[in-house]
Chain A
Amino acid sequence: MQYQDRIPPDGINTPGRHPLREFLRLSVMALLAIITLGFLLNSAGGTLGGLIPFKYELWLADRIDSASVDAGQESPFAQTITHPELQEYLQSVADRVASAMELEASMPITLHYSDDDLVNAYATIGGHVYFFRGLLSLLPHENALSMLMAHEFSHVSLRHTAKGIGGGLALAAGTSLLGMSQKNQLFGLATTLTSTRFSRNMETQADRSALAAVNRMYGHVAGASALFILFMQQRDEEEGQFDKFLSTHPLDEQRIQRIEDLALERQWLLEGETTPLPDKYSSWLR
């Protein structure tokens, strides 16, 4: 008997493909799969969320309110408009917008004001709509304010909050079931992309519905795009290109373009006289 030690040739146990090729192939597959899956989950959850009657949204808001009071914290719905004249003015515009939008009485809107520099406004569950001082102080005329309100109220009437929560929950449930939530960076990016697309659609819907309301109120849509021009200027100052790409809102240039397209399509007047804000408006915002 003889003993030898021949070395088998390389590559039988490591028929290595180039790792970069493998990586690219898998990344593309993963992104596609995740975007498809994310989109499906998000839409399914969103659709289900939109089916929940508004009264449950009110009930939920109520629960959050009382729960935070019980816990000794300030309720998120506690920030009301303290300045009486501002309150009166905003409420009157809100009432006109609501009636132009034919909002049902079962869908009450509550206005909130936040003394903050943030250039923003948002609608949350139960018809609670928040305006930040930063945004209100930049508005050039009442038409822009009406457009802003109509946009936020559209989120409420189109049930975007419920849809957003439904979609987000479905997405979170789906990804955690597959065991790949925040652990994997690529999945994080992909889910952000899908939910971003989803909410951009909702923004576009809200813009369209708001523009119709503004046209009904003033007989023209002049000044509606002023709101987005404002956002555009603000964003140019603050953000880089990449943040824009990931932003949940449509790009401002596109929004302005879409507004004009819609107005032309419906034959709404793009020109018209804008209604100024009350003289003391800026002093109320201090």
Chain B
Amino acid sequence: MSEKMIISNLEYYPGMKIEQHISLVQGSSVRSKHAGRDFMAGIKSIFGGELLGYTELLHESREEAVDRMVRQAQEVGANAVLNVRFSTSSIAAGAAEIFVYGSAVMLVEEV
């Protein structure tokens, strides 16, 4: 789905012209890990280091959020999302939201 869509956090796409700014598109995903993982992460956080369970959780979540943003961009007829930004926030204990947004644009080859 997302192969055809250009996603970038640049302002413009070198060599192509932004023909149209179509919409501000966004994707979000809220996830929580199960209690077992929470527990393991709690133990791990005593010693520090990477909390693999959470890295995974946020990674999955980020993928889904991007996917949703891309779907919005497709629905409004864009072929690229520029100036993409991510933000992560904790919504409730154990639940984190990944939010991604950007400008959905129509890019054309520069003549």
Contact = CB atoms under 8 A, between A and B. Distances in A.
B30 to A, nearest CB: 10
Contacts of B28: 13
Contacts of B76: 6-8
B62 to A, nearest CB: 14
Closest 7 CB pairs of A and B: A8-B72, A6-B76, A6-B23, A2-B20, A3-B21, A178-B35, A12-B71
Given A12-B27, A13-B27, A6 B39 contact: no
B23 A7 contact: yes
Contacts of B71: 12
Interface in B59-91: 68, 71-73, 75-77
Interface of B: 18-28, 35, 38-39, 68, 71-73, 75-77
Interface of A: 1-9, 12-13, 177-180
Contacts of A177: 39
A13 B68 CA distance: 6
Interface of chain A, helix or strand or loop or mixed? Answer: loop
A262 to B, nearest CB: 42
B27 to A, nearest CB: 6
A8 B25 contact: yes
B83 to A, nearest CB: 14
A49 to B, nearest CB: 24
Given A13-B27, A178-B35, A2 B68 contact: no
Nearest to A14: B28
Contacts of B21: 1-4
22 contacts: A1-B18, A1-B21, A2-B21, A3-B21, A4-B21, A4-B22, A4-B23, A5-B24, A7-B76, A8-B23, A8-B25, A8-B75, A8-B76, A9-B72, A13-B26, A13-B27, A13-B28, A13-B68, A13-B72, A177-B39, A178-B35, A178-B39
B39 A12 contact: no
Contacts of B73: 8
Contact of B38 (A1, A6, A179): A179
Q: Find the residue from A2, A7, A8, A12 having the highest chain B CB count within 10 A.
A: A8
A88 B43 CA distance: 58
Given A1-B21, A2-B19, A4-B21, A9 B75 contact: yes
Given A6-B76, A178-B39, A12 B68 contact: yes
A10 to B, nearest CB: 10
